[in-house]
A and B are shown apart, each in its own frame.
Chain A
Amino acid sequence: MLNFALWLSILMFSASLGLCIYRMLIGPDIVDRILTLDTMSVNAMALIILLGIQLNSQLFFEAAMLIAMMGFIGTVSLCKFQLRGNIIE
């Protein structure tokens, strides 16, 4: 039961990554692409967590934490660049 639920979750997160790539390709504006980058980093983090459950290893949480932090910093710096023209004033 757990194995089936795990594979179904991996499939659904991969499908949501595919939908994010679709929006990244057709996104009409730059803020759509920033939003998609944020969503993709969160989805990739969840996929890494699921891989950690599948391989029964706790070594993946540092990678998930790093991806979450880098996604947030990327979102904030891209938004600041669009708002002000430079990032650190």
Chain B
Amino acid sequence: MHWSLELIISLLLLIGSSFALIGSIGLARLPDFFMRTHAPTKGTTLGVGSTLIASMIYFSVTNGRLSVQELMITIFVFITAPVGAHLMAKTALHLKTRPISKTRNSPLDKE
């Protein structure tokens, strides 16, 4: 394999795993649920998408033909992540999960 292709694949892998690690650190460290739901649904989705693009380039180069299954998984993850995040935020509002006390204009304060 040519070294520039190897460099591109390695950079995509490292960018993807860094974003996934940052998303999980946010999931472990942020103070309340409505902040915690940001980190995995944005960071981890981008990280997995980048890893899948790296895998697509690797198998396209080693097999000599274009492989598109990874692109299908990427599109699926990119479509379903916002839907899941919206449902989880709706569930948290329904269950009256309290945000931290510095939050302004919370819908739970009006009741």
Contact = CB atoms under 8 A, between A and B. Distances in A.
Interface of A: 1-2, 4-6, 8-9, 12-13, 15-17, 19-20, 22-23, 29-32, 34-36, 38-39, 42-43, 45-46, 49-50, 52-53, 56, 58, 61, 64-65, 68-69, 72, 75-76, 79-80, 82-83
B94 A43 contact: no
Contacts of B9: 2, 5
Interface of B: 1, 3, 6-7, 9-11, 13-14, 16-18, 20-21, 23-25, 27-28, 33, 36-37, 40-41, 44-45, 47-48, 51-52, 54-55, 58-59, 62-63, 67, 69-70, 72-73, 76-77, 80-81, 83-84, 87-88, 90-92, 94-95, 97
A65 B76 contact: yes
A38 B36 CA distance: 13
A23 to B, nearest CB: 5
Contacts of B84: 38, 72, 75-76, 79
**Which label, helix, strand, loop or mixed, suits the secondary structure of the A interface?**
helix
A64 B6 CA distance: 23
B91 A31 contact: yes
A7 B3 CA distance: 18
13 contacts: A1-B3, A1-B10, A8-B13, A8-B17, A12-B21, A23-B36, A42-B45, A53-B54, A68-B80, A72-B84, A75-B87, A76-B84, A83-B91
Contacts of A39: 23-24, 27, 40, 44
Nearest to B58: A53
Nearest to A32: B33
Given A16-B21, A39-B40, A49 B33 contact: no
A58 B95 contact: no
Given A64-B73, A76-B87, A2 B10 contact: yes
Contact of A83 (B6, B33, B90, B97): B90
